[in-house]
Amino acid sequence: MSSLFNTKISLNDFLLRDGIYFPKDYQQLNSTEQKQRWDKIGKTYYGSQKIEQAAETSPIKQDYTLLTGRPGGTWLKFPVNKSVDSILEIGCGYGRIPLFLSKDKNLRCQRYYGIDISESLLRRLLKCKQEYDFFPGAEFHVICASAELLPIEDNSIDLVISNCVFMHIPDAQIRNLLVEISRVLKPGGIFIFNHSFHNKSCPSHQIHNFVRRLNPVKQNPVYLKQYSADEIKAMLTASGITTKCPQYTVEPTQEYAILPQKIKGIPVPFATTINRSLKPSATMKETLAYGYSAYSNNW
Ligand X SMILES: C[S@@+](CC[C@H](N)C(=O)[O-])C[C@H]1O[C@@H](n2cnc3c(N)ncnc32)[C@H](O)[C@@H]1O
- Of the candidate residues 9, 11, 13, 34, the single one contacting ligand X (CB under 6 A): 34
- Of the candidate residues 23, 73, 93, 252, the single one contacting ligand X (CB under 6 A): 93
Which of 14/283 has CB closer to ligand X?
A: 14
Please state, as a whole number, how many other Cβ atoms lie within 10 Å of the Cβ of residue 137.
8
- Of the candidate residues 20, 75, 96, 256, the single one contacting ligand X (CB under 6 A): 96
- Of the candidate residues 116, 119, 158, 180, the single one contacting ligand X (CB under 6 A): 116
Question: Is 113:79 a contact under the CB 8 Å cutoff?
Answer: no
Question: Is 202:174 a contact under the CB 8 Å cutoff?
Answer: no
- Of the candidate residues 102, 163, 253, 275, the single one contacting ligand X (CB under 6 A): 163
Which of 23/189 has CB closer to ligand X?
A: 23
CB of 284 to ligand X, least distance (A): 26
Question: What sign does the CA torsion over 209, 215, 216, 220 have?
Answer: negative
Which of 7/243 has CB closer to ligand X?
A: 7
CB of 92 to ligand X, least distance (A): 6
Q: Does 118 bind ligand X (CB under 6 A)?
A: yes
CB of 181 to ligand X, least distance (A): 12
CB of 277 to ligand X, least distance (A): 25
Distance from C-alpha of 238 to C-alpha of 247, rounded to nearest angstrom: 15
Instruction: Tell me the site size for ligand X, rule CB under 6 A.
Output: 20
* Nearest one of 99, 108, 101 to 129, comparing CA atoms: 99
* Nearest one of 68, 65, 58, 112 to 90, comparing CA atoms: 112
Binding span for ligand X by CB under 6 A among 13-21, 114-122, 179-187, 202-210: 114-122
Task: Give how far Cα 61 sits from Cα of 51, 96, 175, 217, 275, Å.
Answer: 8, 15, 39, 45, 34
Q: Does 164 bind ligand X (CB under 6 A)?
A: yes
- Of the candidate residues 87, 107, 121, 232, the single one contacting ligand X (CB under 6 A): 121
CA atoms within 13 A on the CB side of 51: 24
Q: Does 122 bind ligand X (CB under 6 A)?
A: no
Q: Does 147 bind ligand X (CB under 6 A)?
A: yes
Residues 168-207 touching ligand X, rule: CB under 6 A, are 168-169
Q: Does 97 bind ligand X (CB under 6 A)?
A: yes
CB of 62 to ligand X, least distance (A): 21
Question: Is 269:230 a contact under the CB 8 Å cutoff?
Answer: no
Please state, as a whole number, how many other Cβ atoms lie within 10 Å of the Cβ of residue 29.
17
Strand pairing category for 185-199 and 291-296:
antiparallel
- Of the candidate residues 165, 174, 257, 259, the single one contacting ligand X (CB under 6 A): 165
Which of 177/241 has CB closer to ligand X?
A: 177
Question: What sign does the CA torsion over 120, 117, 98, 197 have?
Answer: positive
Q: Which residues contact 55 (CB under 8 A, 6 or more apart)?
A: none
CA atoms within 13 A on the CB side of 222: 12
Q: Does 161 bind ligand X (CB under 6 A)?
A: no
Q: Is 63 helix (H, G, I), strand (E, B) or coil?
A: coil
- Closest residue to ligand X using C-beta atoms: 93
Q: Where are the beta strands (DSSP E) in 182-283?
A: 185-199, 226-227, 248-252, 262-263, 266-267
Residue ranges binding ligand X (CB under 6 A): 34, 38, 42, 91-93, 96-97, 115-118, 121, 146-147, 163-165, 168-169
